[in-house]
Amino acid sequence: MAVLDKLQNSISFLYKLFDIDEKKEVSIIEEAEEKIQLPDEYLERFTLYPIQNKDFLKNRDEELKSLELAYENWKIINSPLLVVDDPGEGGTSLLHASTYIYPTAKILETNQAIDSYKKLIGLLCNVLSIKKDFKSLKDLEKYINTSDENHVIILENIERLFIRRIRGFDLLEDFLLFLHATKTKIYWIISINKYSFYYLNRVKYFSSHFPSIIHLKPILDKQLQAEILDRNQGYQMVFLKPNNISKKIEKQLKKATKEERQVLLENLFFKKMFSFAKGNISKAILYARNSAYNVKDKTVFIKPIKIKVLDDLSLNDLFILEAIFQHRSLSIKELNIVLRNSDRQSRLSIEKLLEKQLIRPTSTINKRIEYRVNLMYLDILKELLRERLNRNFR
Amino acid sequence: MKRILNIIFFLAAISNFAQEKTVKDVKNNVENTISTATEVISITKILTIVVVIILTWGLMKLLDWFFKNLVKNFNRHRLKILRLQPIIKILVWTLAIYTLIITLFNPSAEAIYALMGSSALALGFALQDIVKNIFGGLLIILDRPFQIGDRINIKGNYGEVVNIGLRNTIVNTLDDNTVTIPNSAIISDSISNANSGALDCMVVVNLWLPINVDVTQIRKIVEEAAITSRYLNIDKPVTILFFDHFDDHAATKVVVKAYVLDARYEKLFEGDVTEASKKAFIEAGIYN
């Protein structure tokens, strides 16, 4: 089987190298593999949710120390803090768990686009527990600066304050002015998606507003392994042979005893997981969950999954994925605005990307559907953005 | 009388002998020529020529395929890859010609020098234009005023260089016409190169507006039209310039200078920025 696959891959590579069209459309439609439904009790162990307490936060001691130091610095020089993270790296967990440093901190989660001054003022008043109406950010700024109270506000995903269009940066720029004007009274901790940071930095010199910036570091492979083993506690893990395997490993497996075979397959699984996750905890969890092949009684069978290669993406698809990634998530209406596309054009493209599972829909508080890049394809997308759109982003 | 007859017989005998010798010489000469000819034009040699030509042609096609696919799969390094293409092609041709000369004539060093001297003289007169083009091609490859993939303007033809051959350079213009320009004409003319080997290139977008516009408002609109374009190379700066014109009608000329992420999207970027700016100008009532 593996040899056949290799042969097929080699032929495909040769076709690609010499630009010969593979007659894929005439091939027989393959039977879809039936998915084995895993028990909810097991799947729940792999749910992605932010950690709220420092005691449960692992592998982020260095970042927590930086947060403590940044708070001490604010007391002296009143500088706001920016935390830059990739989706799934655990930025939200870090910020939530860091509230032991500033127990009165208020968290402003912006999991929906903030596209008007009214909405922003409303959210800020709500988080500051101010029961007054303000017509502009300037009025709110005056009110805050005349009060005696100091605040700590954690504003997540600041990229939701802009939209890539003409006059789409006004709200963000005015908010930055507001942030500078109130920084003696409010300790601002802002988080931003790495790709939005790259874009805003280039076009609006975003980082110059923040003297203190924390970039989240990738988690060590050993720590990722411990995390996955921890989530499988209570289950006996049986590692299965992946579909694509090298001849060398195939030989080693044939020679090995049953126990040695399991050790080899376990190492192989984790090696594949590390190379996929690249220190991103959420990606490691997703990989482990998708690799769980079957659960019987208290035994889980794990077979490393194969990640799809995305070589048939059109330039338009890439521009859409880039726009979504730049804003963390976008609705179809917003996508029309950003890419200057018609509604029909955007819908068709979105359907195509959903079919390929490159994006996934999420629903916001006001029941609006937005689309996000599927974490499973994040690194492939980054590589494509570099290779095909020449973006100097790492 | 007897003496005269003797002389006649003597002359006849000499003539007969001479004729016999000439025939023999001619025969020998012909035999020699035929044997030399068969040595020079043997079936093995003809086959060698055919095989070398077919192999060279096949290799050229293979190289074209190979480079085309490398470019497709490694778009980011497109121009670096394309830079190698003409050099490798010339090397292949040189190798093929060398193989043919060695196989057919196996010349001595002296013969090569003599051949080079005489052929230089002959080529100088007979193939003056072709030689000029070939040397032009070599100069372009060595001096590199432009490379494959560059956007150049030569003799009023603006477009992407798609091939640098030994005799001609082929430029694909923006309206998809293929223009073949002799290399000799290129080296004697001035060339403007928009990207000089880089993947991106600067695009200048000109917008015309009424003379009495609010430049601060226009600057914001135009700058944001550029920075929000999907085709922009965000790693390079965007410059906005204003000029007043009083030729036929008084007008403000707005010049947007920005880099496009790939020279191939030059016109798409220009169109995108113009379209977005125009819509915003209408919304802001600037044309009113």
pLDDT digits (tens, 9 = 90+) for B11-49: 766 666 666 667 777 778 777 777 766 666 678 888 888
What residue of A is the nearest CA neighbor of B224? A166
CB contact under 8 A, A169 and B224: yes
* Cβ–Cβ gap A392/B69 under 8 Å: no
SS (H, E, C) A164-219: CCCCCCHHHHHHHHHHHHHCCCEEEEEEEEHHHHHHHHHHHCHHHHCCEEEECCCC
Answer whether A99's CB lies under 8 Å from A105's CB: yes
> Hey, is the C-beta of A164 within 8 angstroms of any chain B C-beta?
yes
What is the pLDDT, as a whole number, of residue B197? 78
Tell me the pLDDT tens digit for each residue of A291-311: 988 888 888 899 898 887 777
What predicted TM-score, i.e. pTM, was given to this entire model?
0.76
Positive or negative CA dihedral for A74, A77, A78, A81?
A: negative
Q: How far is CA A56 from the centre of its chain?
A: 20
Q: How many CA atoms lie within 13 A of A299 on its CB side?
A: 5
CB-based contact A166 B225, cutoff 8 Å: yes
Q: Measured between alpha carbons, how far is residue A274 from residues A141, A187, A245, A279, B214 in Å?
A: 47, 37, 17, 7, 56
CA distances from A156 to A82, A244, A284, B188 (A): 10, 41, 23, 61
The type of residue at B168 is: N
Tell if the CB–CB gap between B66 and A199 is shorter than 8 Å. Answer: no
What beta strand segments (E) does chain B contain?
151-154, 157-164, 168-173, 178-182, 192-193, 201-210, 239-245, 251-260
The strand order across the sheet containing A369-373 reads A329-330, A369-373, A359-363
Q: Which positions in chain A touch B275 (Cβ < 8 Å)?
A: 340
pLDDT at B103 over 70: yes
- Pair A84, A192: CB distance under 8 Å: yes
Q: Name residue, tokens 């000469």.
A: B29
Nearest CA among B241, B243, B146 for reference residue B189: B146
The closest CB to that of B228, out of A18, A19, A166, belongs to A166
pLDDT of residue A25: 47
**What is the residue type of B224?**
E
Closest residue of chain B to A168, computed from CA coordinates: B224
**Minimal-distance CA residue of chain B relative to A340:** B276
- Return the pLDDT at B222: 96
pLDDT above 90 coverage of chain B, percent:
29
The pLDDT value recorded for residue A1 is 47
At residue B216, what are phi and psi to the nearest 5 degrees? -65, -45
Residues of A in contact with B195 (CB under 8 A): none
> Is A323 in the B-facing interface, judged by CB distances under 8 Å?
yes
Is A165 touching B (CB cutoff 8 A)? yes
Alpha carbon distance B223, A307 (integer Å): 40
Which of A251, A275, A277 minimizes the C-alpha distance to A264?
A251
Whether residue A168 lies within 8 A of chain B, CB to CB, comes out as yes
Type of residue found at B153? N
- With contact defined as beta carbons under 8 Å apart, do A353 and A359 qualify? yes
CA distance A49 to A64: 19
What is the C-alpha to C-alpha distance for residues A152 and A75, in angstroms, rounded to an integer?
Answer: 11
What tokens appear for A126 in the block? 């709500």
Contacts of B276 in chain A (CB under 8 A): 166, 340
Interface of B with A (CB under 8 A): 65-66, 68-69, 72-76, 199-200, 220-221, 224-225, 227-228, 230, 233-235, 261-262, 272, 275-277, 280
Q: How far is CA A348 from CA A164, A343, A353, A359, in A?
A: 21, 9, 9, 13
Per 3-state DSSP, what percentage of chain A is helix, strand, and coil (rounded to 5)? 55, 15, 35
Reference A304, options A245, A246, A261, A352; nearest CA is A245
What strand order describes the sheet that includes B151-154? B178-182, B168-173, B157-164, B151-154, B192-193
Name the residue with tokens 């967990």.
A93
Q: Which residues of chain A have pLDDT under 50?
A: 1, 24-27
Q: What is the pLDDT of residue B23?
A: 72
> Residue A388 and residue B75: Cβ atoms within 8 Å?
yes
Residue of A317, A385, A390, A391 to mutate when probing chain B, most B C-beta within 10 A: A390
Pick from B65, B69, B228: CB nearest A164: B228
What the block records as the tokens of B211 is 């003379």
Is residue A97 a contact partner of residue A113, using CB atoms and an 8 Å limit?
A: no
Contact B272, B232 (CB under 8 A): no
Enumerate the residues of chain B whose CB falls inside 8 A of the CB of residue A339. Answer: 230
Predicted pLDDT at A186: 95
> Can you give the pLDDT at residue A35?
66
On the question of pLDDT at B95 being above 70, the answer is yes
For residue A359 the two structure tokens come to: 């994006």
- pLDDT confidence of residue A110: 72
Query: Cα(first)–Cα(last) distance of chain A, in Å?
Result: 37
Backbone phi and psi for residue B165, each to the nearest 5 degrees, phi listed first: -95, 180
Check B234 against A199: CB less than 8 A apart: yes
Of B200, B275, B277, the CB nearest to A390: B200
Residue A26: per-residue pLDDT: 46
CA-based nearest residue in chain B for residue A323: B230
Task: Determine the distance in angstroms separating the CA of B53 from the nearest CA of chain A, rounded to an integer.
Answer: 21
Yes or no, beta carbons of B224 and A165 under 8 Å apart: yes
A-interface mutation test, from B228, B238, B272, most A Cβ less than 10 A away? B228
* Separation between Cα atoms, residue B192 and residue B146, nearest integer Å: 9
Does B261 contact A390 at a Cβ distance shorter than 8 Å?
A: yes
Identify which of A19, A203, A388 has the shortest CB distance to residue B234. Answer: A203
Q: Do residues A88 and A129 touch, judged by C-beta distance below 8 A? A: no
Pairing of strands B192-193, B178-182: unpaired
The tens digit of pLDDT for each residue in B126-181 reads 677 777 888 888 888 788 888 888 889 888 889 988 888 878 899 999 888 899 99
| pLDDT (tens digit per residue) in A234-288 | 888 899 888 878 888 888 888 888 888 999 999 999 999 999 999 999 999 999 9
Among candidates A167, A202, A387 on the partner chain, residue whose Cβ is nearest the Cβ of B76: A387
What is the pLDDT at residue A22?
Answer: 53
CA distances from A231 to A43, A269, B35, B261 (A): 10, 15, 89, 44
- The angle formed by the CA atoms of residues A58, A63 and A66, to the nearest 5 degrees, is 145
Report whether B231 contacts B264 (CB < 8 A). no
Q: How far does CA B114 lie from the centroid of its chain?
A: 31
What single DSSP character describes residue A300? E
User: Cβ contacts (< 8 Å) between A336 and chain B: which residues?
Assistant: none
Q: Could you read off the pLDDT of B48-81 as tens digits, one per residue?
A: 888 888 999 999 888 888 888 888 777 777 777 8
Exposure string over A222-259, b if 16+ CB within 10 A, otherwise e:
ebbbebbeebbeebebbbebbeebeeebeeeeeeeeee
